Chain A
Amino acid sequence: MIEIDHITKTYGDINAVDAVSMVIETGTITVVVGTSGSGKTTLLRMINRLVEPTSGEVRINGEPTHAVAPYLLRRRIGYAIQGHGLFPHQTVARNIASVPRLLDWPTDKINARVDELLSLFGMDPAEFRDRYPQELSGGQQQRVGVARALASRPDLLLMDEPFGALDPIIRARAQDDLKEIQRKLGSTIVLVTHDMDEAIRLGDRVGVMDGGKLVQYAPPEDIVERPASGFVANMVGDAERPMRLLSLIPVGDLTEDGAAEGAMLPDTASLRDALSACLWTGRDAVPVERDGAQIGRVTLAAIRHRVGQHA
C-alpha cells in the first residue's frame, strides 16, 4: 500500500502540487490524469524523490520514503518514461539488467531474469537480447523500457506517459499488454497521462488533477457517471460520456434470461460492444455466451436503463 499524505511542492509562489493525499492499493493500477501543468508529473516524481516534496510525506508499506537515501529508494521503484529513455550504447539485455546490476544480483540470475522478461513481453530472447535500442521499432523500445523498469521486481512501478510516443494502434496494444502483464505479476502501478481514454481503459482507480489539486480520485465508472466538478466532466467529454461508461461495464452485468437472434457476444465484452451490435444489425437484443454456450441475452432497453441510472 502506498500512502501519499498531504504532499505539496512549491516553486516560488506557485503550488505545483497542492496538499494531495491518496491511497494506492497493492496490486492495482492507479492512473493520474490531467492537462499539462496540472502537477501530475511532479506528483509522480515526488514518489521516487526525483522531486523532493516541500511538505507532506509518502509512505510505502508504512515506511516513509524520506527515511531511505533517494538512490536506494529508486532502486526499489520501477520507473518508465515517455520516449523510453533506453541507453543507446547498451544492448537490450544490458538495458534490462540495469537495476539488477545496481543491486549486485549474480550474473546467472540476471540473465535468467532478462530472458524471462523478454519472453513475457513477447520478444524472443535469442533474437533481441543483443540488439541495440536503435534497431528496434517504437513499440519494441517501449516494451523494453517497461521490462527494464520491472526487472528487479519492484514494489511499485511509476510510469510517466509511457505510451505518449506511440502511434494510436500500437498504443492500444501496448495498453492491453500492460494490463495483462500487471494482472499476471500483480504489480502496483501508478501511471500519469493526459489522455482520459487511457485513464479509463487502464485505471482501477483514476485521479484527476487540475492546478496542482487532486479534484477527484475514484474508480473510472464514478469519474464518468459522477464527475466531481465541471473540469472533470469536461475532461471526460459530455458527448462521449455514455459511450465511455458503457465501455467500462461487461455484458455479463446486464445479462438476463431470454432468447435473442443473431451472432452471440462473450459475456466479457463491454456494453458498448453490445450497443454497437444492436444498432448495426437492427436488433433489440443480443445473445450472450460463455465458453461457447448461450447464457442469456442483453437488451437495448436494459442498456438504456443502465445509462440513465447515473442521474
Chain B
Amino acid sequence: MGLTVSPPGVLFAVLGAASLLLPFLTLRANRIVAGEGAAPWEVAGPTVTIAALTAIAAGLACGLLPSRPWLRFAGSLLSLAGLIFLLSRGAANLLGDAGDLARVSPAAGFWCLLSVVMLLMADAIGGLQPGPRLRLGLLTLVLGALALLLWSGALNDLSPMQEYRTRAAAFRTATWRHVALALGSLGVAAAIGFPLGILAFRKARVRAVTLPVLSFLQTIPSLAMFGIMIPILGWVGATVPGAQAVGIAGIGFAPAFVALLLYSLLPVVANTVAGLGSVPAASVEAARGMGMTGPQRFWTVELPLALPVILAGLRIVLVQNIGLAVIAGLIGGGGYGTFVFQGLNQTATDLILLGALPTVLMALVAAILMDIVVEVAQPTLNRKNT
C-alpha cells in the first residue's frame, strides 16, 4: 500500500489536539465545592508548558508512522511522560497560590489525553504482535513505572492522592479485601465448577439441569443478588451452629463472597463443558483405542486440549469478579467499593476515583495476565505464529 500515515494515528493526533482545548486541571477551594478548570497552557510556567506540550505533540506525531510500531510505542511513552510531567508540575503550581484547603484534580482534558495516549500505546503494541513473554515484559514495565511514579511523590499534590494519604491504611485493607473477594470466590467457584462441569459434560441429564439454573442466576441483577444474599446468610448465621463463629453473617464479607461465587459458576461450568466438547472426537477415540485408561485419557488428552477454553472461562470470571466486588462496598463487604460509595454519598469525586481507578487497573492487569496464560496453554498456536 502507498499509505504513508497511519489512519488511527491521524485519529489520535486529532483527538489529542482537541483534548488540549478542554480544561486540564480543576482547582477547587476545598474538597467538596465545584471548581474552576484550567487549560493546559494555564497550569504551569512557560518552560514547563512548552516542554510538556512539545513532548505530547512529538509523541503523537510518532504515532502517525504506520510501519514503525516500536517508534509508535516510544512515541506513546514520550507523550505519556509529557502528560504526567505537566500534571505533576501543574498541580504544584496551582496549589502554590491557593489556600490550605484547596484541591487540584485532573480534569476532562487530562483524562481524554491519557485515553488517547493509552490507545496509541495499545495500537502500537498491537502492531508489534508481541508474544506472551514480550507482553509480560511490557506489562511489568508499565506497572513498574506507575509504582515508581506513585512512590516518588510526584503526584502527591493531586486530590485523589490526598484522599489516599488520609486513608492509606484503609486503602491497604480494601485492596486485600478486594483481592480476597475476587480471587477467593474464583478459587471456590473453580473448585466446585470444574468437577461439576466434567460431570455435566459426561451426563446429559446433569447438563440439562445445571446450565439453565446457572444461566438463570446470571440474569439476576448484581445489586439484587447481593441484596438477596443478606437475609439468606443472615438466616444461616443465626440458625446453623458455629456459622457465626467463622464469620457468616447477613452483612459483610460472607454475602458478597457467596454472591460473587454464584455469578462465577456459570462461566466456569459452561467453559469446562465447552472445552471438553471441543476436544476432537478422533483424538479421544484414538486414546481409547491405544489402551489409555480413563484417568490417563483425561489427564493426558482431554484436559490439556480443553485447558485453553477452561482458562478463558476463568479469565471472564476473574475480570467480572473484580468489577462486581465493588458492589460489596454497599453491603459492608469491604473492598474498593467502600470508597466508591462513600464518595458517591459525599459527592466527593476524588474519593470515587480512589475506589474506581484501582478497580479498573486491577481488572485490566488481570485481563492481560489471563490472556497471556491462555495463550501459553496453547503450545501449538504459539509455534504456528513464530
Tell whether any CB of A sits under 8 Å from a CB of B in the complex.
Answer: yes
Contact of B291 among A72, A82, A132, A158 (CB under 8 A): A72
The interface stretch among A84-92, A219-227, A243-251 is A84-92
B285 pairs with A89, CB closer than 8 A: no
Whether B304 sits at the interface, judged by CB under 8 Å, is: yes
Evaluate whether A98 and B289 lie within 8 angstroms (CB atoms) in the complex, with A81-B282, A86-B283, A87-B301 already known: no
A85 pairs with B291, CB closer than 8 A: no
Smallest beta-carbon distance A111→chain B, Å: 19
Smallest beta-carbon distance A297→chain B, Å: 50
B286 pairs with A73, CB closer than 8 A: no
Evaluate whether A74 and B290 lie within 8 angstroms (CB atoms) in the complex, with A86-B283, A89-B380 already known: yes
Smallest beta-carbon distance B96→chain A, Å: 62
Question: In the bound complex, what is the Cα–Cα distance between A148 and B301 (angstroms)?
Answer: 15
Residues 333-386 of B at the A interface (beta carbon under 8 Å): 379-380, 383-384
Question: In the bound complex, what is the Cα–Cα distance between A114 and B296 (angstroms)?
Answer: 21
Evaluate whether A135 and B291 lie within 8 angstroms (CB atoms) in the complex, with A83-B282, A89-B304, A89-B305 already known: no
In the complex, which residue of chain A has the Cβ closest to the Cβ of B378? A89
B290 pairs with A79, CB closer than 8 A: yes
In the complex, which residue of chain A has the Cβ closest to the Cβ of B289? A79
Whether A50 sits at the interface, judged by CB under 8 Å, is: yes
B285 pairs with A81, CB closer than 8 A: yes
Question: In the bound complex, what is the Cα–Cα distance between A264 and B301 (angstroms)?
Answer: 54
Contacts of A73 in B (CB 8 A): 291
B292 pairs with A135, CB closer than 8 A: no
Whether B288 sits at the interface, judged by CB under 8 Å, is: yes
Contact of A81 among B289, B292, B384 (CB under 8 A): B289
Contact of B384 among A71, A77, A82, A134 (CB under 8 A): A134
Smallest beta-carbon distance B300→chain A, Å: 8
Q: Mark A66-106, 1 if CB is under 8 A from B, else 0.
A: 00001111111111011111111100000000110010000
B286 pairs with A102, CB closer than 8 A: no
Whether B280 sits at the interface, judged by CB under 8 Å, is: yes
A89 pairs with B379, CB closer than 8 A: yes
Residues 144-198 of A at the B interface (beta carbon under 8 Å): 145, 148-149, 158
Contacts of B285 in A (CB 8 A): 50, 81, 85
Q: Mark A246-260, 1 if CB is under 8 A from B, else 0.
A: 000000000000000
Question: In the bound complex, what is the Cα–Cα distance between A84 and B287 (angstroms)?
Answer: 11
Whether B293 sits at the interface, judged by CB under 8 Å, is: yes
Smallest beta-carbon distance A94→chain B, Å: 10
In the complex, which residue of chain A has the Cβ closest to the Cβ of B377? A89
A102 pairs with B288, CB closer than 8 A: no
Contacts of A78 in B (CB 8 A): 290
Contact of A98 among B282, B290, B380 (CB under 8 A): B290
B383 pairs with A85, CB closer than 8 A: no
Residue among A71, A81, A88 with the most chain B CB within 10 A? A88
Question: In the bound complex, what is the Cα–Cα distance between A81 and B282 (angstroms)?
Answer: 8
In terms of DSSP, what is the predominant structure of the interface of chain B?
helix
Contacts of A270 in B (CB 8 A): none
Q: Mark A129-147, 1 if CB is under 8 A from B, else 0.
A: 0001011000000000100
Smallest beta-carbon distance B30→chain A, Å: 61
In the complex, which residue of chain A has the Cβ closest to the Cβ of B307? A89
Smallest beta-carbon distance B384→chain A, Å: 7
Contacts of A28 in B (CB 8 A): none
Question: In the bound complex, what is the Cα–Cα distance between A77 and B289 (angstroms)?
Answer: 8
Smallest beta-carbon distance B203→chain A, Å: 21
Smallest beta-carbon distance B201→chain A, Å: 18
Contacts of B293 in A (CB 8 A): 71
In the complex, which residue of chain A has the Cβ closest to the Cβ of B301? A87
B289 pairs with A102, CB closer than 8 A: no
Whether A48 sits at the interface, judged by CB under 8 Å, is: yes
Question: In the bound complex, what is the Cα–Cα distance between A48 and B286 (angstroms)?
Answer: 12
B292 pairs with A102, CB closer than 8 A: yes
Question: In the bound complex, what is the Cα–Cα distance between A74 and B296 (angstroms)?
Answer: 14
Contacts of B283 in A (CB 8 A): 85-88
A99 pairs with B304, CB closer than 8 A: no
In the complex, which residue of chain B has the Cβ closest to the Cβ of A48? B289
A71 pairs with B286, CB closer than 8 A: no
Smallest beta-carbon distance A194→chain B, Å: 18
Evaluate whether A88 and B280 lie within 8 angstroms (CB atoms) in the complex, with A134-B380, A134-B384, A135-B384 already known: yes
Question: In the bound complex, what is the Cα–Cα distance between A125 and B244 (angstroms)?
Answer: 65
Residues 280-338 of B at the A interface (beta carbon under 8 Å): 280, 282-283, 285-293, 296, 301, 304-305
Evaluate whether A71 and B305 lie within 8 angstroms (CB atoms) in the complex, with A85-B282, A85-B285, A132-B380 already known: no
Contacts of A102 in B (CB 8 A): 290-292, 296
B282 pairs with A84, CB closer than 8 A: yes
Contacts of A50 in B (CB 8 A): 285, 288-289
Question: In the bound complex, what is the Cα–Cα distance between A47 and B76 (angstroms)?
Answer: 66
B291 pairs with A74, CB closer than 8 A: yes
In the complex, which residue of chain B has the Cβ closest to the Cβ of A98? B290
Contacts of A71 in B (CB 8 A): 291-293
In the complex, which residue of chain B has the Cβ closest to the Cβ of A74? B291
A81 pairs with B286, CB closer than 8 A: yes
A85 pairs with B384, CB closer than 8 A: no
Contacts of A149 in B (CB 8 A): 290
In the complex, which residue of chain A has the Cβ closest to the Cβ of B281? A85
In the complex, which residue of chain B has the Cβ closest to the Cβ of A72? B291
Evaluate whether A99 and B291 lie within 8 angstroms (CB atoms) in the complex, with A89-B305, A134-B384 already known: yes
Contacts of A72 in B (CB 8 A): 291
Question: In the bound complex, what is the Cα–Cα distance between A134 and B283 (angstroms)?
Answer: 13
Contacts of A134 in B (CB 8 A): 380, 384
Binding site for B on A (CB under 8 A): 48, 50, 70-79, 81-89, 98-99, 102, 132, 134-135, 145, 148-149, 158
Q: Contacts A85-B287, A87-B287 given; 10 further ones with Cβ under 8 A?
A: A74-B291, A76-B291, A77-B291, A85-B280, A88-B280, A88-B305, A102-B296, A132-B380, A132-B383, A158-B289
Binding site for A on B (CB under 8 A): 280, 282-283, 285-293, 296, 301, 304-305, 379-380, 383-384
Report 6 cross-chain contacts, Cβ distance below 8 Å, ordered by A residue: A48-B289, A50-B289, A99-B291, A102-B296, A132-B384, A135-B384
10 tightest A-B contacts by CB?
A85-B286, A74-B291, A79-B289, A75-B291, A85-B282, A132-B380, A71-B291, A83-B282, A89-B304, A71-B293
